[in-house]
Structure 1
Amino acid sequence: MKAYALQLSLAFSFLLGPCLADVQPYSNSAEYDKGDYGRWVTQTFLSSQVIAPVLNVRKPFTECDDGSYLFVAPRGGGVAKATPMILDAAGSLVWAAEQHYGNVYNLMVQEYHGEPYLTFWAGDDAVGGHGVGNYYMLDRHYELYRKLAGANGLGADLHCFTITAESTSLSTLYEKVEKDLSGVNQQRAKGWVWESIFQEVDIETGEVIFQWRASEHVNIAESYTVLNEATEKAPWDFFHINMIEKDAAGNYLVSSRHLRSVLYVSGTTGKVLWQLGGRGNSFEDLSGGAATRFIGQHDAHWGNADQSVITLFDNGADWGGDYEKGSTGMRVEVDLEKMTARLDLKLQHPDRIISASQGSYQTLPSGNILLGYGFNGAMAEFSPNGTLLCDAYFGPSSRFTQGDVQSYRDLKFNWTAFPKTTPNLVWVDGSLYVSWNGATEVKGWLFEDSYTSKQNWRQYDLAARAGFETKLSFGGGRPIRRYVRVVAMDHAGEHLGASLVLDLGSVATDWESEAAQLDAGAGSAGKTEQDEHHNTAHAEDGSAGDKDDQTSELRKEVEDIQMLLVLAFLALVSGLLVVWMAFSCRRRRNMFGWNSVPQDDEEVAMDKMELGSGEGGSFWQRLHPRLESAQGRLRDGVHRLLRPKSSRATDRDIGEGMRSDVELPDVH
C-alpha cells in the first residue's frame, strides 16, 4: 500500500512544478535524417558533464518496454568521444561513463558467480579489423571489478568477451604468424597472416583452459577475402573470428566472417565437426541456398537449448564489394542428424539498411528479436514472427554507410545499479536541476531547504523523476531558505542518497524566519551547541540509531503527503462517478419513456446535457475550472503539510561527504 501510495503521489507531482529538462527524441524527423542537426546529434546537461545522444524515433521503444534498458557504445567519425551508454525505453540517458576508456565495444550485462556486471572491451581499434586492449568488468556501483588482458601474452581483441556458466571467459585474439600460402597462390610459398584465436580462461587465476587457432584446423584457401601482399606489416586476414559460444557439451560455436561460415568446434581436439555456410558447408540447404548463404555475418548463437536453431546477423556485405539488398537477421533451423538447414525467419528493416561491418542479433526473453546495425547508428526490435515493433536511429540515415556513428552491438538487459556517488544538484536561472548518473532505482526527488547547512531540513517539494535530468522551477512567491539539497527516493519511499548542500546565497527569500530562529535560540546557546555537536557526530559516524530516526522522519512526512494525495484522488474519482450515475439515470428515463419533473435548476441543467453531444463540451468547460480549483487547494494543502514543525530539530544529513561549499553568485 505504501509503495502504491508513493507511486500515486509521484503521478500527481506535476502539481508541484517539476518538468523534464532533457531534450526529447525526434519523431520521424526528415531534417534529422538529412543531417541538418549534425552527424552526431547530442544533448548536454546543467547538472552533469556527460553527453547523451538524441534519437530519431521511427517506432517508439516505449511500445517494446519490458523493463530492460538499451546498451550502446557509440563511436565513429562523427563522435567526438566514444562512450558506453545505457538508455531507457524513452531514449533518455540512464548512465554514461565519465571515464574515457578509448574506443569501446560490446557493452553488455553478464553474470559472474551469481552477480551481474557491466562488461565491455576498450582500447585501440586501429589495428585493422580488430583491436588490442582490455576487457572491463564493472560492478553495480560502476566500480572496476576486473580489468583483463589476453592470456599467453596476446592482446585482448574487441570482438568477443563472454562469461560462461562455469565462470570462465571466452575471448577472441589475433596474432601475426607466417604461414604456407602455396595452397592459395602457388607463386607465394610463405606469407604473413592474422591468426584468429580464441581462448577459454579461468577468470580468477588467468589459467588458459582451452586455446584454438584457426589455421591449424581450417583450409585457409576457403577464405572469401582476396589475398593481399601478406607481409608482416600488412598480414592477410583469412578467417576473421568475431564470436564464440560454448554449449553444454563443452564444444564451441565459432563465427568466421571471412569464411562466411559458422563452425562447430570440438572442445577436446579443436577439430571442426561441421560448418554452416561457406565453401566448406556441411548442410543440405532445404531453402534453396537461403539458409546457408550469408556474407560477413556477426553475432552467431544457438537459438535454443536443444541446438536446433542458429541465429545470426547477416551483414549481406563485406569490404570486398559483395552486397545483398540490405542487412538482415537470420534464424536457421538445423537438423544435426539429417544435416539439413532451413531458413525459418529473415528480418529486414523497411529502409533496407546495409551494414558492411559489425551488427548484432539478440533473442529477448519475450521472444522478440533486437537487431543492432553496427556500422550504422540504428536499432530495431521485431516480434517473433518478424513484425517490426520498435525502431530508432542515433545517426542521420542519409549518412549511413559513412561510419559517422557506429555501435558494434546494440543490446537490451535488465540492470539495477546504485552508484556510490551522490546526486548532482545545481541552481540555474531560478530553477534547480538534479541528476544522478547511473542510478536506476530513483523514482522521485525530495527537495529540502534549511537555514543552516547541517540540520533542520524542511521538506520543500516532491517531484517525480523526469528523464536523466529533472528541473524544478520556483514560482508563486514561495519563500526558499538559503541552503538546499535533494534526496533521491525509490518507489517505496526509501531514501537512496542525498546531494551535496547547495548555498543559494542572496537568491534565498526566506530570511525573517531565520532571524527569529536565531533569536529564539540565543537563550540556550550551550544546549544548542551541544545538540549541534551531538547531531554532527551522528552524521559523521553514520550511526544506525540516527539513520533510523532520519528514515522514520522521512517516511512519516512522505506518508502524510501520500495520504493527502490519495484522498484527493479518491474525491475526484467519486465526483466523476456521481456525474456518470446521473447521466446513466437520465438515459434510462429516456429509454423507458419515464417522465419526471426536475427538482431544481441543477437537475434541469443536467437534463439538457448529453455526453458526446455538442453541449457536452460546455459541461467539461464548467467542470475544468472546478478541477483546477481543487488542484490549487491540494497544492496549498501539500505546501502547508511540508512546513516545518516547530518541535522538529533533527539532523538528516544523508550520505557521505555532505558539504556546503558550493557557492552561487549573488543575484540582484
Structure 2
Amino acid sequence: MGRPDRPDRPARAWQFVSRPDLTPPVITSTVKARGPLPLEPTEGSDVFLGPKDTDTSVTMQGELIVDTQGDPIWVNSSPVGTFNFREQTYQGKPVLTYWDGNSTSYGHGDVVILDDTYTPIATVTTAGDLGPHQADMHESAITPQGTMLLTSYPEVRADLSSIGGPKDGWVLEGVAQEVDIATGAVVFEWRSLDHVPVSDTYQPLAAGQGTQANPFDYFHINSVQDVGPDQVLISARHTHAIYEVTRQTGSFTWQLGGRQSSFTFGPGATFAWQHDARLQADGTITMFDNEAAPTSSRGLRLSLDLAAMTATVAAQYLPPTARDAATQGDVQVLPDGNVFVGWGQEPFYSEYTGGGWLLADETFTAGTSYRTFRAPWTGRPTTPPDAALRRSGSGATVYASWNGATQVASWRVLTGSDATSARPVATVRRTGFETAIPVKHPGAYVQVQALDASGAVLGSAVAG
C-alpha cells in the first residue's frame, strides 16, 4: 500500500530515440485550479528539480529542468543524487548551481556553478577552520555581494549530560559560513554551540549516539538567508526554531519557535522540523512546515508583530490531500505573488496564489527532490543537437533534440546524396524535448538544423 498522497503506480520515464541515455520522469498533473479564483500558474518560467534516491524507483538522478507543461528542457544524469539545483544570479548573469558531494542526512562537498552554456565556471567550498570540501547540501544561496551562504556540520566535542548523554560527548555542530565566490575567503561565520545549548534540541538521543563514531545531530541547520546589512536568518530543524542573527556578535535579535521562542503563537501558527525559512519583502516569514500531525505537511507564511511579539498565520499552502513530507521541502514566493512549494520527500510540486488557493499540483511519481524551484531560464549549450534516423521502406523519420537549448522554435531537415547536394525537404515546429519529423525518400545524407523564432540556424547535426 502506498503513502496516502503518493501515486500507487510505477514511475514512468521519457524514452528518446535521439538520446536513449536520458530517462527523466514523466510529470503529470494531479489537480488544476482548485479554488474559486480564475487564475493560472505562472507562465514563462521553468521548474528546477533534483530527482534522487534510487530506493524509491526514481527514473533518474541528477539535475532536471522542465517547462510549465512538464516537458524536459535539460537533463543531466548523475550516479548520485543532487541537492539544491536552481537558477541564481552571479555577477549580473543567470547561472545554475547545485551541490556535489557525499551525503546522508548531511553532507561533505562543494557547490558547482554553471553558466548558461552549462559550462562550470566556479566551485565554491568552505574555508577557514572548517577546511575545504565541508559544505553541506542544505544551503547555497548567492548574495548580491557575490558571496555564497553555506552550511556545514563539523564533528565537535560537547557536554550531552543535559539530555542524558555523556558529559564528554560529540555532536554535529551547525555552522553557517559566507564565502566570497571569486576569492574563496570567509567573510562571515556563525557556530550554533556558541549561542544554542544542546538542551534546546527536540531530537531524541538514540542509544549509541553522542560518540565520536556517531555524533549527535542536535541542531540540523538547513537554511541561511542574508536579510540585511547586519542580519542573517538561520533555520534549525532539530530545535524547531528560526533565528535572526546579528552578524557582528552572532547573538539573536529574536527567535521564532523552539524552547526559547521570543514570540507567542496564534492559532495554527506553530511549526516543527521545518525547512527553508525565508524573510519576505512584506516582513512575513515563509517556511516548509514538515510536521504532518494531525493534518498534513504544508507551506506556511507567518506574520510577525515585533511590538507585541506575536506570530500569526498569514497563509498556509496545503496539498489537495494529506501529504506527509517528513524531510526536505521549500517555499518560494514568485515575482507575481504566487507561491511555489516543493514537497521534498514526496514527489510533488505545487503552485498557489499568495493567499493559499491551489492552482496546480504536479507529480514525478517516484523519488525525492530536496528543493524545487520555478524561474525563467535561457540555455545555450555548446554541444551540438542530437539526431537519429529510422528508415522504413522508402521513407524515414528523423528524431531531433538538443539537450538544454531553449531557443529552438523549429527543426529543418536537409537531405541528398551527400552534404554538398543536400536540400531542405521539411521544416516542422519543435514539439517537446524530442521532435519526430517524417521524411519522404531521404537520400544517403540527412541533416537537421535547429532554427530560432526568426529562422536563423542555431546548430545542426547529421542524422545517422
TM-score, normalised relative to structure 2: 0.92
Structure 1 residue 191, shift from structure 2 partner:
0.8
Q: Across the two proteins, how many residue pairs are aligned to each other?
A: 443
Write out aligned runs for 1:99-118 (5 A): 100=78, 102-118=80-96
Larger radius of gyration: 1
CA distance in 1, matches of 2:198, 2:87: 35
* Equivalent residue number for residue 354 of structure 2: 384
1:34 lines up with 2:4 in the alignment: no
Shift of 1:490: 1.1
- Determine which of 61, 64, 69 is the counterpart of 1:90: 69
Q: Which has the higher helix share?
A: 1
Does structure 2 conserve the Cα–Cα contact (< 8 Å) formed by 1:355 and 1:374? yes
* 1:55 match: 27
2-side partners of 1:255 and 1:244: how far apart? Answer: 7
Alignment-derived partner of residue 182 in structure 2: 204
Q: Are 2:110 and 1:134 equivalent residues in the alignment?
A: yes
Residue 473 of structure 1 is matched in structure 2 by: 438
Q: Distance in 2 between matches of 1:95 and 1:495?
A: 20
Q: Please name the residue that 1:273 is paired with.
A: 253
Q: Where do residues 213-612 of structure 1 align in structure 2 (5 Å cutoff)?
A: 213-228=191-206, 229-285=209-265, 287-288=266-267, 290-291=268-269, 293-304=270-281, 308-317=283-292, 323-395=293-365, 405-429=367-391, 430-453=396-419, 455-474=420-439, 478-499=440-461, 501-502=462-463
Shift of 1:220: 1.8
Structure 1 residue 81 displacement after superposition: 4.4
Give me the whole-angstrom Cα distance separating, in 1, the residues matched to 2:322 and 2:7.
15
In angstroms, what is the RMSD of aligned CA positions?
1.9
CA distance in 2, matches of 1:442, 1:254: 41
**d(CA) in 2 for partners of 1:125 and 1:357?**
14
> Given the alignment, which residue of 152, 157, 162 partners 2:141?
162
Q: In structure 1, what is the equivalent of residue 124 of structure 2?
A: 148
The alpha-carbon distance between structure 1 residues 340 and 366, as it changes in their structure 2 partners (threshold 3 A), is same
Which structure dedicates a bigger proportion of its chain to strand? 2
Normalised to the residue count of structure 1, the TM-score between the two structures is: 0.64
Query: Retained in 2: the 8 A contact 1:171–1:198?
Result: yes
CA deviation map 1:501-540 (0-9, x unaligned): 24xxxxxxxxxxxxxxxxxxxxxxxxxxxxxxxxxxxxxx
Runs of at least 5 residues in structure 2 that lack an aligned partner in the other structure: 34-38
- Name stretches of at least 5 consecutive residues in structure 1 with no aligned partner: 1-29, 318-322, 396-403, 503-661, 663-668
Q: CA deviation at 1:80?
A: 6.0
Residue identity opposite 1:471 in structure 2 = A
Q: 2:18 corresponds to which letter in structure 1?
A: S
**Conserved 8 A contact 2:13-2:59:** no
Deviation per CA, 1:396-428: give whole Å up to 9, x if none. xxxxxxxx5100011101110110011111112
Q: Quick one: structure 1 residues 65 and 335, their matched pair in 2 at CA, closer, same or farther if it must change by over 3 Å?
A: closer
One-letter identity of the residue aligned with 2:31: K
What does the per-residue CA deviation read over 1:167-225, in whole Å, with 9 as the maximum and x for residues that have no partner? 1010000111011223333x632210001101011111111111111011112211101
- The 2-side partners of 1:270 and 1:468 are apart by 48
Report the counterpart of residue 512 of structure 1 in structure 2.
none
Which residue of the other structure, out of 55, 66, 71, is the alignment partner of 2:43?
A: 66
What SS class does the counterpart of residue 183 from structure 1 fall into?
helix
**Alpha-carbon offset, residue 44 of structure 1:** 1.9
